[in-house]
Amino acid sequence: MRMLINVPETVVADALRGMAAAHPELAVDVENRVVMRRDAPVEGKVALVSGGGSGHEPMHGGFVGPGMLAAACPGEVFTSPVPDQMVRAAAAVDSGSGVLFVVKNYTGDVLNFEMAAELAEDEGIQVAKVLVDDDVAVTDSLYTAGRRGTGATLFVEKIAGAAAEEGQPLERVEAIARQVNASSRSFGVALSACTTPAKGSPTFELPPGELELGIGIHGEPGRERRAMMTSREIADVAVDAVLDDLRPDGPVLALVNGMGATPLLELYGFNAEVQRVLAERGVPVARTLVGNYVTSLDMAGCSVTLCRLDEELLRLWDAPVETPALRWGR
């Protein structure tokens, strides 16, 4: 195992200590595993709280800051955070305007966030929840009942976070988050398996010269395995799978995402093919984001996420944001 770590047991804590040193604008509670805006709670503002297993960086801690999340709860690698983390985060960032939990559709996350919402409400915190389930590759998987939550999580957190930053009420922020999720679809491809620090070996077998179509962000099985394909061929499959389900009738927001080990040279080349397919299908692209944002440790591969846009969603996407991973307009 070749990893830049000390020991597997301290990977998450070590990363949080390093994050705290790099980003003094954040308040990082290493012991209790909570990352927060240092200026939280912000008076009159709905607070967005999300979280999930570590190993998907920069999601979610890298999305904490003005215009996005108020707090994030990192679990152990590929393991849900616990309800106590979520309640502690909600209590720390709630200004009295309510908290929106953004939850990816993985069984552990769903159960723990539901329990946390009940506990937080017992403490007098108004809580709403939105479930992200954008993956079109499979209906059920090793970790989910229903569709997996993947790249659209970034869209939900950015767009709903902008609405919260404007001071919109909890009911409206929740409605916008649900609209973004309902308007988004994703499809992922693995060129290699990922290796968790605890296991020290690939999480699944992918023979040389093959790829997996439709994987999740933990390396869950996809639709099928094929012999290695060109970037052009992969874009045809991935974009068609998204469009067949999404059926946009206007402009879209596009995320071309790397799974952790795919360099920007390849991602930009893949984006060129994604844009080609969308142009051939008559789908206008209003905005595009390219990079490693919703990752799976050291997996080589990519995902495509598209979101149907209206004027308000586009305005909120363009609104200022200042987080470790996303920054524009401020």
Distances (CA, A) of 71 to 28, 30, 44, 184: 10, 13, 16, 23
Residues 6 or more apart whose CB falls under 8 angstroms from that of 208 comprise none
Catalytic residue among 33, 37, 45, 56: 56
Find tokens 């795919």 and name the residue.
Answer: 262
CA–CA separation, 47 vs 96, rounded Å? 9
Catalytic residue among 102, 218, 271, 293: 218
- Note whether 102 and 49 are within 8 A (CB): yes
The question of whether 23 is a catalytic residue gets the answer no
Neighbours of 223 (CB within 10 A): 15
DSSP secondary structure letters along 177-231: HHHHHHTEEEEEEESS--B-TTT-SBSS---TTEEEES--TT----SEEEE---H
Q: In the numeric block, which tokens belong to residue 72?
A: 């994030």
Residue 156's φ and ψ, nearest 5 degrees, are -60, -45
The question of whether 56 is a catalytic residue gets the answer yes
Upper half-sphere CA count for residue 317 (Cβ side, 13 Å): 21
**Alpha helix (H) residue ranges in the chain:** 11-22, 83-93, 107-122, 152-165, 170-182, 231-246, 264-280, 311-318
CA–CA separation, 67 vs 3, rounded Å? 33
Which helix (H) or strand (E) covers residue 72, if one does? strand 71-77
**Which amino acids are annotated catalytic?**
56, 218
